[in-house]
Structure 1
Amino acid sequence: MSALGVVGGVLQPVVVVAGSPVLVGVMRQIRARLEGRAGAGIWQPWRDLRKLLRKDSLAPRGTSEVFRAAPLVLVATTLVVAVVTPLLTTESAAAGVADLFAVVALLALGTVALALAGLDTGTAFGGMGASREMTIIALVEPTLLVAIFALSVRVGSTNLAAIVTSTLHDPARVISPASLLAAVALIVVIVAETGRLPVDNPSTHLELTMVHEAMVLEYAGPDLAMVELASAMRLTVFLGLLANLFAPWGIATSATPLAIGLGLLVWLGKVTVLGVVLAAGEVFVAKLHLFRVPELLAGSFLLALLAVAASFFLA
């Protein structure tokens, strides 16, 4: 493990934990302004987390340890991904875990844990949300794997740090057909994985349209705070990974303070821009009917397959 990997492994989770609620606040503020509202301010998510942490944890009668462990699993898996993914530096703190398949498995583990918690409550809405989430993840995870695999073909490795480093050294790959197709597929995956419009509405309270919110209705206090923080962290990690896979310029390649500081500022800027674009786009997009969501996700999977084919035949 190099010094650069150690710095990234220590700094990245701190930045993700501290900055993800602010990113959510910025996105909410952008939506509010575009909709003609004043908005609660970019610090409101942190204020909400602080309020939840001061409350008592409550668990529905009859729930098991699955319900209580799900928020911890969700936060822990997201933290591990934040540590090993090349966000601020080109080297990973744990190169073995930074493999594409390991990262996707960790993200899927957190989602499955939350779905099991929704089932464990025994409520109609919890089971409905878990069922919908499993339908979405069954289509999203293969697309995520195939889209990033298309980028790894020319590199000869599924290690995310190797893919980012290779793109940094060969910028022309960004405008190749394989990269463009993979980028579109990955954008759809991020929208679905993070519960954004048009797949899900993170601000809805209509029971028949909820997906993510239906699984967490029974959580309260610190448990709900962990779920909300983990959701914000996943959004930040996904946007950061998207930025570095297709625009890695500015990422730190050495462990000097100047390089690390510049890499941090550039990464924060890229993630903020992507978050603003995503929030602005949601204002003009309506939520899809539930039965139309598989069609959207199947289309993204087809784009990912075309990206793999292009990476082999147009190399």
Structure 2
Amino acid sequence: MNAVAGAVQALLVIGGAPLLTGLMRQVRARLEGRAGAGIAQPWRDLRKQFLHKETVRPRGTSEVFRIAPLVLVATSLVVAVVVPFVTTGSAIPPAADLFAVVALLTLGTVALALAGLDTGTAFGGMGASREMTIVALVEPTLLVAIFALSVRVGSTNLSSIVSSTVHDPSRVISPASLLAAVALVVVIIAETGRLPVDNPSTHLELTMVHEAMILEYAGPDLALVELASAMRLSVFLGLLANLFLPWGVATSPDPLSLLIGTGAIVLKVGLLGVALAVGEVFLAKLRLFRVPELLAGSFLLSLLAVASSFFLA
């Protein structure tokens, strides 16, 4: 069942991630009084980039620039396979460990930052510098927040954490879970480049973070980067959903449970995406020098979550 669930999760993330992005854009458009391009527009953009655009790479770039999109997609895909989204089990149990998952996600971010530096442009270097500043504050928070959930379980394996919450739903409303959930929400906003940390729809050079690193990509390379970014957003929202709201996750190997688990994760991720899009309509982008304050606050919340998991158990 775990192998089948892993394959289903991979297909869901690859096929559904662009649709999630399109749904969020459509929600924002409607709330802002615009018609919107439709939920399927990201897939149409990817098809155009893959099939009708040629690959153009800056002169003087190395293999780092060429393989960064592949690394970004590969790490996102591996995480999508191993994290317990549809079932409480994992297709590759050793890789479902908290530290392994965070390392994979960080590897993709670092690869893209190196690609931005490899172009030798001012904007690429600026975006990479900003991204590394954010990552240096985000990754410890991600580790500590999920570690707070693992204290009671006695394991950093994500499958064990989700399974324990399924069998003991009262843990969802514990102080440790609530504090860790708030910290993880801030982490997701920062890691995926959403408002108020970054504006995913901006093209104003002085405020860009993610977009500044990918300005030199075109054609299939750009499509891979955009697909990987959408996949990472889906993975993070799925992780948030199943760590704190694991209802509907399959615990048995029968096909009906697998079908229910698939529908549950699609529904939860969709609702979280809509909530994130609605929140962005009412938020303004923070100044870059205020972002570390926000991330430091989330790190403090994650530390409080760890402390409460020990002392309020």
Q: What range describes the TM-score normalised by the shorter chain of this pair? A: over 0.9
For 2:144, the equivalent position in structure 1 comes to 146
Residues 204-235 of structure 1, C-alpha deviations (whole Å, 9 max, x = no match): 00000000000000000000000000000000
In the other structure, the counterpart of 2:16 is 19
Q: Give aligned pairs, total.
A: 312
Tell me the alpha carbon deviations over residues 7-44 of structure 1, each in whole angstroms, 9 at most, x when there is no partner. 11111001100000000000000000000000000000
Native 8 Å contact 1:25 1:42 kept in 2 = yes
Could you tell me how far apart the structure 2 residues matched to 1:281 and 1:112 are? Answer: 28
**Counterpart position of 2:48:** 51
Write the letter of the residue equivalent to 1:11. Answer: V
By how many angstroms is 1:94 displaced? 0.7
Contact preservation (8 Å) 1:56, 1:222: yes
- Letter of the aligned partner of 1:38 in structure 2? A
2:269 is matched with 271
- Which among 251, 255, 268 is matched to residue 253 of structure 1? 251
Look up the SS of the partner of 1:58 in the other structure: coil
What is the letter of the counterpart of residue 52 of structure 1?
Q
1:225 counterpart (211, 219, 223): 223
* Secondary structure at the counterpart of residue 51 of structure 1: helix
| Amino acid in the other structure paired with 1:49 | L
Task: Report the equivalent of 2:206.
Answer: 208
Other-structure match for 1:119 = 117
SS class of match (1:42): coil
Deviation string, structure 1 residues 101-132 (Cα, Å, up to 9, x no partner): 00000000000000000000000000000000
Where does residue 10 of structure 1 map in the other structure?
A: 7
Report the TM-score when normalising by structure 2. 0.99
Residue equivalent to 1:297: 295
CA distance in 2, matches of 1:11, 1:269: 15
| Distance of 1:8 and 1:187 partners within structure 2 | 26
Equivalent-residue separation in structure 2 for 1:5 and 1:303 (angstroms): 34
Q: How far apart, CA to CA, are the structure 2 residues paired with 1:263 and 1:99?
A: 21
- Displacement after TM superposition at 1:257 (Å): 1.4
From 13, 28, 32, the equivalent of 1:31 is 28
**2: distance between equivalents of 1:217 and 1:251?**
39
TM-score, L = length of structure 1: 0.99
1:31 maps to a residue whose letter is R
Q: List structure 1 runs of 4+ shifted beyond 4 angstroms.
A: none
> How much identity, in percent, do the aligned residues show?
78
The answer to whether the 8 A contact 1:7-1:255 is kept is: no
d(CA) in 1 for partners of 2:65 and 2:6? 30
Match of 1:157 among 149, 155, 158: 155
Using the TM superposition, give the Cα deviation of residue 309 of structure 1 relative to its aligned residue in structure 2, in angstroms.
0.1
In the alignment, the residues of structure 2 paired with residue 84 and residue 213 of structure 1 have an alpha-carbon distance, to the nearest angstrom, of 28
- Structure 2 counterpart of 1:29, which letter? Q
Q: Deviations over 1:155-174 (max 9, x none)?
A: 00000000000000000000
Q: Name the structure 1 match of 2:83.
A: 85
Q: Report the 3-state secondary structure (helix = DSSP H, G, I; strand = E; otherwise coil) of the residue aligned with 1:97.
A: helix
CA RMSD of aligned residues (A): 0.4
Amino acid at match of 2:26: Q
Structure 2 residues without counterparts, runs of 5 or longer: none
Aligned equivalent of 2:59: 61
Is the contact between residue 151 and residue 178 of structure 1 (CA under 8 Å) also seen in structure 2? yes
Q: What is the DSSP-based 3-state SS (H/G/I as helix, E as strand, rest coil) of the residue aligned with 2:96? A: coil
Cα distance in 1 for partners of 2:170, 2:251 equals: 19
CA distance in 2, matches of 1:7, 1:312: 37
- Please name the residue that 2:92 is paired with: 94
1:312 corresponding residue in structure 2: 310
The separation in 2 between residues aligned to 1:26 and 1:254, in whole angstroms, is 31
